Amino acid sequence: MENARRLSPAEREVLRLRVVAALESGRVESYRQATGVFGVSERSVGTWWRAYLREGCEGLAVRQGRRPGPAELIGDEERGTLFAAMADYTPEELLIGGPLWTRQAVVEPIRLVVGVVMTEQGVGLWLRRHGLTPQRPARNTYGQRPAAVRAWLDEQYPAIETRAKAEGAVIAWVDQCGLRPDAAGPGRSRATKGRTPVVRVTGKRLRVNVMSAVAPRGALWFTVFTGRFTAPVFTTFLDRVARQAGRKVHVIADRHPVHRSKAARTWLEANVNPVELHLMPAYSPEPNPDELLNTASNATSTPPAHTADRLAQRTRRFLHRRRPHIVLGYFQTRHVRYAIV
């Protein structure tokens, strides 16, 4: 007979009833004889017969679903305390681990707060049961001042937006980044076990710089250069953005030393009509949508380029392909959605 484990729950219940009926009627006289007739183990026959004697036919029903186990050892109040601690602090701040709440990190506060020792696998199931899933964290620098960021979002940027609308101007977020051919790792490659694959890379320290600006309606301006980022490079780029935009541009940038240099301030004072610069709070890249373009640009270094010209050519080609709908997508992320006009 087919293995009973492959039967459906209903078929298994019928099989149990047939075995017990045969024993009770005397058609089979022993567990061993039932084993030969029905193709089930002698131990199973004995278990079913004892269940029948104890509970009747109800004892033979197939129990579906999860087996009843002990109640959860962590009460609602204790669980709330743990989740509040995980929301407000990192394991590093509680002196029990690194910056991330991994399963291993959660084991310790459960032991300290509740007195319950759980395995990492059990912690993972428990967290998922209560709606906590593994997520890629957003990065936040230590020097960032949350109050300054909140003031920027609630007061300073709305004022800039109001002025831009009144002047018929455009708002552009500007940023600069450097690209190297080894900026992104090679990832993983299939190979025979014990034979590590080798990726050939250049030994030269190649680098190109990118200055870019994005606008909420999908506009993108950029320049790729191999020299140093200086005030003349910055102001030349701003002048080009203003000319191509055809109207005044309110430029929003971070507090890079070049943006605050004397040469840049002098140029801005002489060109206050076409360009006006606004500096974001220090150590706050998250509200700048151009940072997302920088992150995407770093992918152009894979596969690695062998010359600076090749890297610059690849970067320009990548940026030329950033169509307006792609640029608009950068403004849809949670941290920069405030900038959508």
Q: Assess contact for 189 and 197: CB atoms under 8 A.
A: yes
Identify the CA nearest to 127 among candidates 109, 147, 146.
Answer: 109
**Residues in contact with 269: Cβ distance below 8 Å, sequence separation at least 6, in sequence order:** none
CATH for 146-339, options being 3.30.420.10, 3.40.50.410, 3.10.105.10, 1.10.1040.20: 3.30.420.10
- Contact in structure between 164 and 173 (CB atoms under 8 Å): no
Cα–Cα distance between 311 and 12 in angstroms, integer? Answer: 67
Q: How many CB atoms lie within 10 A of CB 16?
A: 25
Question: Which of 213, 181, 218 minimizes the C-alpha distance to 315?
Answer: 181
- Burial of 168 by CB count in 10 Å (0-12 exposed, 13-18 middle, 19+ buried)? exposed
Nearest-angstrom CA–CA distance, 13 and 78 = 42
- Rounded to 10°, the helix 103-113/120-129 angle is 90
Task: Report pLDDT for 200.
Answer: 67
What is the pLDDT at residue 7?
Answer: 67
pLDDT at 71: 63
Answer whether 0.85 is exceeded by the pTM. Answer: no
Residue numbers of the chain with a pLDDT score lower than 70: 1-10, 61-71, 138-142, 182-191, 199-204, 299-305, 341
Rounded Cα distance between 231 and 137, Å, is 34
Taking a C-beta distance cutoff of 8 angstroms, is the pair 45, 30 a contact?
A: no
pLDDT of residue 154: 93
Q: Which amino acid is at 114?
A: V
Q: Can you tell me the distance from the alpha carbon of 171 to that of 249, in angstroms, rounded to the nearest whole number?
A: 6
To 10 degrees, what angle do helices 42-55 and 31-38 make?
A: 110
What is the structure's pLDDT at 19? 85
Starting at the earlier edge strand, list the strands of the sheet with 220-225.
220-225, 208-214, 170-179, 249-253, 275-279
User: Partners of 220 in the beta sheet?
Assistant: 214
Task: Give the C-alpha separation, 52 to 75, whole Å.
Answer: 38
Helix, strand, or coil here: 172? strand
**Residues 104-144: tens digit of each pLDDT:** 889 988 887 778 889 999 999 999 999 998 887 766 666 77
Largest CA distance in the chain: 109
Contact between 251 and 278 (Cβ < 8 Å)? yes
Delimit the domains of the chain by residue range: 4-60, 76-129, 146-339
